[in-house]
Amino acid sequence: MARILTLTLNPALDLAIRTGPIRLGEVNRTESTRLDAAGKGINVARVLAGLGHDVTVSGLLGADNETAFLRVFAECKLRDAFIRVPGETRINAKLSEPEGRVTDLNGPGPRIPAHAMEALTERLASLLPGLEAVVISGSLPPNVTPEKLAEFITLVRARQVPVWLDTSGAALMAGLAARPSGVKPNETELADWAGRPLDTPEARLRAALRLNDEGVDDVILSAGAEGVIWAQRGSALAAASPRVSVVSTVGAGDTLLAGMLHGVLSQWPRERGLRFATALAAESVRHIGVGNPGAEDFELLQKQTLVRSLSVDSLTGETRG
């Protein structure tokens, strides 16, 4: 399998809380609580390692509360190349209600010393030889600029290593300007880049294809229950997710990205890769945590995932003369 690096600049301890319907301003009882070492890049790494890849995790990790992360790295056989920084990694609270609504309360993360960023740049450069892909995922700590994220993308691409990006806001804008190989926005994030609402399938597809035209080879657009669009070098596929009972959507996007990258690196036909990744993301929302390809009914979930070719003409009803 492939050698992959995931870069998580602002990891978190995720406090997942399941409740009944939340009553604001009142005492609420929890059904369950769970504290996990997370961060989008670490979630991606867990899925990829479970699929048999040799995965190294790196980024910036608080030195004062690293124990939970070390446990996950050991359990999932992830190579630890994080730069330690003073203080604690942030804690994010995720409140899951019935019917699948999730409320995120995300901390900002620690301030990063300049020497730690220099050390991370050097470590990233040293890890690139022999890699088949790099994934940069998640938000930025308060004093790490979007321009620094773009520098990381430029560094990776200069070494001829594919780099995939999953972030939002100013970090996404700067990252896209550096032309990553692939990107996984949701519809809101893609609309921010496009500068206008993308409230129809046609509008979303046109925006994804425009990103292809501007040098991003793979655009994986996740639209929740509406499924997934994969635009690759000017052609597109759409996948309709199988119907499942939603417990938590936390980690579904990370699972989708990992599943897509697994298919690409395995050189699967595009339809097979998109079906696998979409079904794996659907499996993940049935429970807290990332998707499990070993689930007893995973083959059935794949069969229930419908994949079709997609074009602007097919959405608008236009025909070519």
How would you write the pLDDT of the chain (321 residues) with one tens digit per residue? 899 999 999 999 989 888 999 999 999 999 988 888 999 999 999 999 999 999 999 999 999 999 999 999 999 999 999 999 999 999 999 888 887 677 889 889 899 999 999 999 999 999 999 999 999 999 999 999 999 999 999 999 999 999 999 999 999 999 999 999 999 999 999 999 999 999 888 899 999 999 999 999 999 998 776 789 999 988 999 999 999 988 878 889 999 999 999 999 999 999 999 999 999 999 999 988 899 999 999 999 999 999 999 887 766 654 333
Domain with 145 in it: 1-21+30-181
Same domain, 60 and 151: yes
209 and 241 belong to one structural domain: yes
36 and 135 co-located in one domain? yes
Strands of 12-19's sheet in order across? 30-38, 12-19, 90-96, 102-105
CATH number, domain of 246, equals 3.40.1190.20
Beta strand ranges found along the chain (DSSP E): 3-8, 12-19, 30-38, 54-62, 79-85, 90-96, 102-105, 133-137, 163-166, 182-183, 218-222, 228-232, 235-240, 306-310
The model carries a pTM of 0.92
What is the domain count for the chain? 2
Same domain, 176 and 210: no
The two tokens of residue 132 are: 């088949």
Handedness of CA 80, 74, 260, 257 (dihedral sign): negative
Q: Do both 9 and 82 map to the same domain?
A: yes
Judge if 112 and 202 occupy the same domain. no
Question: Which three-class secondary structure string do you get for 72-135?
Answer: HHHHHCCEEEEEEECCCCEEEEEEECHHHCEEEECCCCCCCCHHHHHHHHHHHHHHCCCCCEEE
Question: Do 140 and 152 fall into the same domain?
Answer: yes
Token pair belonging to 107? 């901390």
Looking at the fold, whether 197 and 156 belong to one and the same domain comes out as: no
Q: Are residues 59 and 142 in the same domain?
A: yes
Given 159, 181, 203, the domain boundary residue is 181
Give 28's contacts (C-beta < 8 A, 6+ positions apart): 19, 20, 22
Tell me which residue has tokens 């995939």: 164
Give the Cα separation of 219 and 210 in Å (integer). Answer: 10
Catalogue the active-site residues. 254
Let me know whether 305 and 194 are in one domain. yes
Residues 43, 168: one domain?
Answer: yes
| Same-domain pairing of 172 and 210 | no
